Amino acid sequence: MAKLEFVDLSVKLGERTLLDGITLSLAPGEFVALIGPNGAGKTTLLKTALALRTPTSGSVRLAGASVAELSARKRAGLIAWLPQHIRTEEPVTGLESVAAARYRFSESHAHSRRAAERALGRVGASAYAERRVTELSGGERQRVAFACLVAQEAETLLFDEPANHLDPAQQLDVYRLLGELWREGRSILCINHDVNLLHHLGDGGRATRGRVVGLRGGRFVFDVPFDSPALPAQVGALFGMDVESLQGSEQRFIVPRSRSTR
């Protein structure tokens, strides 16, 4: 299984520093939720792991090799990505989009389509198989992209705000599905704005193996387990809010009360 490591990673864009000396590792089967204010560098971090962005210094290693040196096909077997937005002008059907995500496999188109049907079924998007993605809503299109990621069958999965565009019930569905993929042994790095949703990954025993990593201004701020008693205070400080920690019947809720007065 592949281990994903960011080693003293910095990314600069002109004068701006997007990431500043990030060291973080995601062991096989681990779940890391990445949180931080807008512009903290979360998406940039995911993009360096996909070799979509080149580090200014430091490196990203996947299964022991630098991601920049892996062949595109090999990398696609190790790591897959759900981007935040899918923009497209091409009126291609959901099924064809997902079948195309099987590019890394050398297989017949019929085989790709069957795998695509299974993936769409798994994420509850079978209804979109024959619809054109340009006619789908943002949330529906996100489901199709989720099916693409499932169809790619990579070991490590990157999610950029997977609950974006979704209504609350669907957000729970997505996190339940993330939990399933995690229990299958995949490692997951997930950008997330609401730590309360992590409860829905399910399986309390395993939840202790998940971590929350805070990022702000391109810098590493904290790295704590899901159930850490320090998490509410950390989250509050990270976003500059006063937060309240409420104990519900099954989970702890971290709820913002007001902006911090500094």
Partner 1 sequence: MKLRAALLVIACALLLLAAVFVGPRLAGAQGQFIVWQLRVPRVLVGVLVGATLALVGAVFQALFQNPLATSDTVGTTAGATVGALFALALDGSRTVQGLPLVTVCAFGGALGASLLVASFASSRTAHSSDVLLAGIAVTLATSALASGIQYVSDSRALFAATQWSLGQLPQVGYRGVLLLAPICALSCTLLLLLTRPLQAFALGEDLAHSQGVNVPRLRLFALGLGSLGVAACVAWCGPIAFVGLIVPHLVRRLLGSSYRVLLPMSLCVGATLLVSCDAFARLIVPGRELPVGIVTAALGAPALVLLVARGRR
* Rounded distance between C-alpha atoms, residue 141 and residue 94, angstroms: 8
Q: Compare residues 46 and 212 and give the one whose CB is closer to partner 1.
A: 46
Q: Compare residues 71 and 261 and give the one whose CB is closer to partner 1.
A: 71
Between 51 and 70, how does the x/- string for binding to partner 1 read (CB under 8 A)?
A: xx-x----------------
Could you say which of 59, 96, 251, 253 contacts partner 1 (CB under 8 A)? 96
Q: Compare residues 146 and 175 and give the one whose CB is closer to partner 1.
A: 146
How far is residue 215 from each of residues 12, 13, 54, 166, 239, measured CA to CA in Å? 16, 18, 19, 24, 10
Is there binding between residue 7 and partner 1 (CB under 8 A)? no
Is there binding between residue 258 and partner 1 (CB under 8 A)? no
Instruction: Output the smallest distance, CB 151 to partner 1, in A.
Output: 9
**H helix runs in the chain, sequence order:** 42-49, 72-78, 94-100, 109-122, 138-152, 168-183, 204-207, 231-239
Q: Compare residues 101 and 174 and give the one whose CB is closer to partner 1.
A: 101
Give the number of C-alpha atoms closer than 13 A to the C-alpha of residue 157, restricted to the C-beta side.
Answer: 31
Could you say which of 13, 109, 246, 259 contacts partner 1 (CB under 8 A)? 109
Amino acid at 118: R
Q: Compare residues 35 and 70 and give the one whose CB is closer to partner 1.
A: 70
Is there binding between residue 133 and partner 1 (CB under 8 A)? yes
* Rounded distance between C-alpha atoms, residue 26 and residue 56, angstroms: 21
Q: Give the interface segment with partner 1, choosing from 17-25, 72-80, 222-230, 248-256 (CB under 8 A).
A: 72-80
Is there binding between residue 119 and partner 1 (CB under 8 A)? no
* Rounded distance between C-alpha atoms, residue 226 and residue 224, angstroms: 7
Instruction: Output the smallest distance, CB 43 to partner 1, in A.
Output: 11
Instruction: Output the smallest distance, CB 93 to partner 1, in A.
Output: 7
Is there binding between residue 139 and partner 1 (CB under 8 A)? no
Give the number of C-alpha atoms closer than 13 A to the C-alpha of residue 160, restricted to the C-beta side.
Answer: 19
Given a contact cutoff of 8 angstroms between Cβ atoms, the answer to whether 31 and 187 are in contact is yes
The CA R_g of the chain, rounded to the nearest whole Å, is 19
Compute the residue count for the chain. Answer: 262
- Burial class, 60, CB count within 10 angstroms (exposed 0-12 / middle 13-18 / buried 19+): buried
Is there binding between residue 108 and partner 1 (CB under 8 A)? no
Binding site for partner 1 (CB under 8 A): 47, 50-52, 54, 71-73, 75-77, 79-81, 83, 86-93, 96-97, 99-101, 103-104, 109, 132-133, 145, 148, 152
